[in-house]
Chain A
Amino acid sequence: MKGDQKRRSRPNVRSELLFLLAINGVLIGNVKPAVIFALVLFSGLLLCLFCRISTAAKYVLTYCLMFSAEHLLMLLPGISLFHFIIVISSVLRKFIPCFMVGCLILETTTPGNFLASMQRLHMPKVFSLPFAVVLRFFPTVKEDWHSIRSAMKLRGIGLSFGNVIAHPLRTVEYIIVPLLSSSIKIGDELSAAAIARGLGMERDRTSVYDVRFCIWDHLLMLAAAVFFVLITFV
Chain B
Amino acid sequence: MKEKLNGKDLINIGIFSAIYFVIVFITAMLGMVPILYPMLTVICPLVGGVVYMLFLTRVKKFGMIWIMSILMGILMLISGMSWYALAIGVFSGLIADLIFKSGNYGSSVKGVLSHAVFSLWIFGNYLLFYLNHESYMKTREEMVGKEYVDKLNSLLPMWSWVVLLAATLIFGLIGGMMGKSMLKKHLSKAGIA
Chain A positions near chain B (C-beta within 8 angstroms): 20-21, 24, 27-30, 70, 74, 78, 80, 83, 86-88, 90-92, 95-102, 105-106, 125-127, 129-134, 136-138, 141, 145, 164, 172-173, 175-177, 179-181, 183-184, 186-187, 190-191, 194-195, 199-201
Contact = CB atoms under 8 A, between A and B. Distances in A.
B166 interface: no
B143 A70 contact: yes
23 contacts: A24-B83, A28-B132, A28-B135, A30-B139, A87-B149, A101-B80, A102-B78, A105-B78, A127-B71, A134-B71, A134-B75, A137-B19, A141-B18, A180-B19, A180-B54, A181-B187, A183-B15, A183-B18, A187-B12, A191-B8, A191-B12, A195-B8, A201-B6
A101 B77 CA distance: 10
The prevalent SS among residues of B at the interface is helix
Contacts of B30: 164
B129 to A, nearest CB: 8
Contacts of B26: 145
Contact of A184 (B8, B17, B68, B192): B192
A129 B18 CA distance: 13
Interface of B: 4-8, 10-15, 17-19, 21-23, 26-27, 30, 34, 47, 50-51, 54, 63, 67-68, 70-71, 74-75, 77-83, 128, 132, 135-136, 138-140, 143-145, 148-149, 151-152, 182, 186-187, 190, 192
The prevalent SS among residues of A at the interface is helix
A232 B138 CA distance: 16
B7 A141 contact: no
Contact of B5 (A28, A126, A131, A190): A126
Nearest to A105: B78
Contacts of B68: 130
Contacts of B34: 88, 92
B136 A194 contact: no
A78 B13 contact: no
Nearest to A87: B140
B7 A199 contact: yes
Given A99-B80, A130-B10, A138 B144 contact: no
A78 B17 contact: no
B11 A187 contact: yes
Contact of A173 (B51, B143, B182): B182
Contacts of A90: 139-140, 143
A141 B51 CA distance: 14
Contact of A28 (B54, B82, B149, B192): B82
Nearest to A111: B14
A175 B186 CA distance: 13
A126 B7 CA distance: 9
A176 B128 contact: no
Nearest to B37: A88
